[in-house]
Amino acid sequence: MATLDSYVLMALVVIPFVGGLALAFFPGESRRAIRGFSALVGLVVFALTIYVFLRYDSDLGGYQFIREYGWLDSLGVAFSLGVDGISVPMVLLTGIVLFTGVLISWNIQVRTKDFFVLYLLLVAGVFGVFVSLDLFFFFFFYELAVLPMYILIGVWGSSTDFGTFNRPKEYGAMKLMLFLTAGSVLVWVAILAVYVESGLGTFSLLALEDVTFSDGFQRVFFPLFMVGFGVLAGLWPFHTWSPDGHVAAPTAVSMVHAGVLMKLGAYGIIRVGLDLLPGGAQDWMPLLLGMATVNVVYGAISAMGQTDLKYMIGYSSVSHMGYVLMGFATLNSVGMGGAVLQMFSHGIMTALMFAAVGALYDRAHVRDIGVLEGLTKRMPVVAIFFVLAGLTSIGLPGLSGFVAEVMVFLGVFQDYPVVGILAVVGAGITAVYILRMLAKVFFGTITPRWEHLTDATRVEGFAMGVLLLFLLVVGLYPRPWMDLINSGVAPLLERVVGL
Amino acid sequence: MNYLLFLPELALAALAFGVLVIDLFLPRERKGYLPWVSLVGLAGVLALSLRYLWGKDTNLYGGLFLVDSFSLFFKAFFLVMGGLVVLSSMEYVKRHLSHPGEYYGILLLSILAMMLMTSSGELLTAYISLELLSFSLYVLVSFARGDPKSNEAGLKYILLGAFASALLLYGISHVYGMLGTTGFTEISAALLLEETPLNPAVLLGLALIVAGLGFKMAAAPFHMWAPDVYEGAPTPVTAYLAVGVKAAVFALVLRLFSQAFMPAIEEWQVILAILAALTMTVGNLVAIAQSNIKRMLAYSSIGQVGYLLMGVAALSPMASDGVMLHLLGYGISNLAAFLGVILYYNVTGKENIADYAGLADRSPFLAMAMSVALFSLAGLPFFAGFTTKFYLFTAAAEGGFLWLVGLAITNSLISLYYYLIVIKQMYMVPASDKSALKVSLIGGGVLGVLVLGIFLVGVYPAPLVDAIQGATGAILP
């Protein structure tokens, strides 16, 4: 297995990328072959991510599976790869969502080939970010993960008609693209500043980690990372692209986007921001905590006011990402560990929710909560998954959301009891809107309009089952996950505490 | 004296006149041979350049004409780019222009001018080659004789171009008057002896030279001519202006500022930085409002000049590498974008952005290639634009211009917006005419090669950077 160990991270980036390119040469009309091939790529990559997860040694900790390939010496750029206890769960999350996303997109009819090509390229970019240990490539893949979104949303997405006004999908696509690139403007400037200030002439994260930047420098440039990556993480007040983008996107893209892409932003804040500028992080974390609290409460209140199912989930993502950022801001091991677990848990949960909504919307062609009623009769499978995803989101014990959120709460209460209360209030509001929506849409008497609806197909059911499996596994036996995550969080905190 | 070092220029001059003469004897239906003659000739000149100039570092005529790896790099660049422009022109010239002999002959002459420019080691030689280039371009811009827009463009270009040349010449006279020489290395030596702050007359000369060259490269506030000229000129000529001529002017600027004016860097650095800031902002902001794709690309290329100028302001070996690398990355991307415009115009005769609606359905290849080119111009990864911009911006940040780099990155974001508008038309707006578009074989092939080049530079730039570092070594040891 030694050879597999040295190439597995490379393979995670290369296989979806090459798979996507190879797919471009398939004849456009053979849809079965196209989706079969995509599912195969998804399955192989999924298997590899499970391998990385099982093979990573939490007792040893640190970066593992390290490889380095020279790329551009004169600029100090090397393609260096490695994962630690924080990135391994993210890699697994990406594998799960990639595979289930392909299955959920089984019935894409329009330009099937182009869809899967772009989808695989998108996922290659996401893997690239999670495994890169070089700032150039980190940023390279970070941008790459945003690039296909525009076309994916614009071509395969759906517009929302609110009666009085219309939100065309092109609007959602453009807004998302501009917000995210605006965030990366800040990130890019900060990366170059770090490069110049270090005087090392290298973009290697491992080398830059050893540099202690001056207090003034850290204080000026940490906010650039915080806000720049924060845009993608849905940080209030830069979150407005996220509901619009998620709603306009086709199901699988919403899954990847809310499930994985938003985690890229959160991941960037700690992997680059906190890791390189721990002093700056310490100075600015109270502000981040404040913004994240607004995320939690305001996101939940906004979700409560939505009439469109997807918008509700979109705002609920904003609210849940608030817990992640809040956990980071505590700068203690319980809170941060909970935050990383929340990234994983929320990724799976929101993917499951979007998958269920997608299955529903494909059949009903409506997402208006006011109109949908009593669907359990006709769609029992979709209903079960939706209800379980909803319960995870509320934080029902036995499901992964509970563990993650409780840890974040504990972490926050240690230093900021007031914020802790607000965080719990946010969870309460979440329970209100989720339960109210579930009751309205799935229970009660069915209206004749929905009598013709059919349930999820076997493929869709399988995909949602895979997602649910992970929610249960983490919820029932979180210990190995926490060991893994803590092995990644501990060295980061040492850097902060060591100041 | 070793005349072999001058052979490529002589051969190219012979080729240019050869094409003009052959044209006289070709019957009308055989005029199609001319571009092929030019292509074979260009390939021959490239072979001669590589054969006789490789690894040489010397000069002719007492320092008037320099032979070094810097000039060889740009000569190869111009020859290859010239070949691509000839290939892109073939169908366009056949369909829309008369007198192909003059078209290709003058095009070759202008390439000769660019080659002389990169080799010139003193101000007057540079000036004369720049004039040869400009005069060739005046003719090429107004080549569509029946088209009033082309005529207007030619007139504007010649009037403003002459003005710019006058400024440049006046600046040269000041520098000569104060320092007593026009040779680059002699100027540098003289500047070292000058006490600081510099004599205002020398400064005035410098400013005038910057203004004159600023006109030629279309830097704000000297860019007013560019959009009209770009829109009016036959599209292959526009592509040539946007890629070739800019590269030639920057080659001259790089050599001039590093070999001649380097001792006074404190004096001109700020001027160039301000010009760069202005140029990138004006170019990108005004590009948003354009409805004609050629005009949009014109403003976008003004924006790109801003990035390149930023690299010159932060002049260092690394910055010079960055400028050359980005010239190349921007060059192939822009050439691909213009070739897409040419191919679309050849079939449909339209060049407004709205006319591109539904192109993804009508010709998936053309839409894909243009998207790649535009994404690359916007600086998105996997494409040349990202890598070359990243290099250039890093170099500028190293040179102490982090604020300017921040502005440049913000401008990249603005540029993404107007490129996305074109992509939205191609992929999301349905076409009114749904018939499939047939792209010509040669045009499509060249476009495919350019797209591959965009990927290659984006993903594996190391060999190119090595070559560029060798070239920079000749001007900035």
The C-alpha atoms of residue B401 and residue B322 are separated, in whole angstroms, by: 14
Distances in Å between the Cα of B273 and the Cα atoms of B280, B298, B304, B407 are 11, 21, 14, 11
**Cα dihedral A78, A79, A84, A89 in deg (nearest 10):** 150
Contact (CB, 8 A) for A405 and A332: no
- Binned at pLDDT 50, 70 and 90, residue B393 comes out as very high
Contact (CB, 8 A) for A168 and A158: no
Q: Do A193 and B423 lie within an 8 Å CB cutoff?
A: no
- Residue B73 or residue A57, greater confidence: B73
Give pLDDT, residue A308.
Answer: 84
What is the average pLDDT across A466-474?
88
Give pLDDT, residue A172.
Answer: 80
Residue with tokens 């060249």: B446
Give the total residue count for chain B.
477
Per-residue pLDDT of A18-34, as tens digits, reads 988 888 888 777 888 88
The C-alpha atoms of residue A210 and residue A261 are separated, in whole angstroms, by: 29
| Residue A140 contacts B, CB cutoff 8 Å | yes
Residue B303 scores a pLDDT above 80: yes
Query: In angstroms, what separates the C-alpha of A467 from chain B's closest C-alpha?
Result: 31
Per the prediction, chain B carries an average pLDDT of 89
- Partner residue facing A182 (CB), from B380, B402, B413: B413
Look at A151-155, A446-450, B322-326, B438-442 and tell me which has the smallest mean pLDDT: A446-450
Q: Do A189 and B405 lie within an 8 Å CB cutoff?
A: yes
What is the average pLDDT across B460-468?
89
Q: Which distant-in-sequence residues (6+ apart) come within 8 Å of B58 by Cβ?
A: B2, B5, B67, B68
CA B282, distance to chain mean position in Å, is 19
The C-alpha atoms of residue A172 and residue A159 are separated, in whole angstroms, by: 9
Query: In angstroms, what separates the C-alpha of B429 from chain A's closest C-alpha?
Result: 9
Give pLDDT, residue A33.
Answer: 85
Q: Do A192 and B321 lie within an 8 Å CB cutoff?
A: no
The C-alpha atoms of residue A71 and residue B358 are separated, in whole angstroms, by: 39
Residue A8 scores a pLDDT above 80: yes
Distances in Å between the Cα of B414 and the Cα atoms of A181, A182, A193, A426, B280 are 10, 9, 22, 37, 10
Contact (CB, 8 A) for A168 and A174: no
Residue A2 scores a pLDDT above 80: no
What is the average pLDDT across A276-298?
88
What is the DSSP-derived secondary structure letter of residue B98? S
What is the CB-side half-sphere exposure of residue B97 using CA atoms within 13 A? Answer: 25
Give pLDDT, residue B376.
Answer: 93
Give pLDDT, residue B340.
Answer: 92
Sequence letter at residue B424: K
Per-residue pLDDT of B412-432, as tens digits, reads 888 988 998 898 888 888 888
CA angle, residues B301, A141, A79, in degrees to nearest 5? 105
- Binned at pLDDT 50, 70 and 90, residue A499 comes out as low
Q: Do A154 and B398 lie within an 8 Å CB cutoff?
A: no
Q: Which residues of A touch B318 (CB under 8 A)?
A: 74
What are the sequence ranges of the domains in chain B? Answer: 1-260, 267-477
Contact (CB, 8 A) for B293 and B422: yes
Per the prediction, chain A carries an average pLDDT of 86
Query: In angstroms, what separates the C-alpha of B413 from chain A's closest C-alpha?
Result: 6
The C-alpha atoms of residue A324 and residue A262 are separated, in whole angstroms, by: 11
| Residue A14 contacts B, CB cutoff 8 Å | no
Give pLDDT, residue A498.
Answer: 67
What are the sequence ranges of the domains in chain A? Answer: 2-497
The C-alpha atoms of residue A85 and residue A133 are separated, in whole angstroms, by: 14
Residue B477 scores a pLDDT above 80: no
Q: Which residues of A touch B405 (CB under 8 A)?
A: 189, 192
**Considering only CA atoms, which of A47, A16, A23 is closest in space to residue A37?**
A23
Q: Do A189 and B394 lie within an 8 Å CB cutoff?
A: no
Per-residue pLDDT of A440-459, as tens digits, reads 888 877 777 777 777 778 88
Give pLDDT, residue B16.
Answer: 92
Q: Do A155 and B413 lie within an 8 Å CB cutoff?
A: no
Percentage with pLDDT > 90 across chain B: 46
**Considering only CA atoms, which of A172, A131, A182, A183 is closest in space to residue A149?**
A172
What is the average pLDDT across A79-87?
88
Residue A183 scores a pLDDT above 70: yes
Contact (CB, 8 A) for B379 and A143: no
Q: Do B397 and A196 lie within an 8 Å CB cutoff?
A: yes
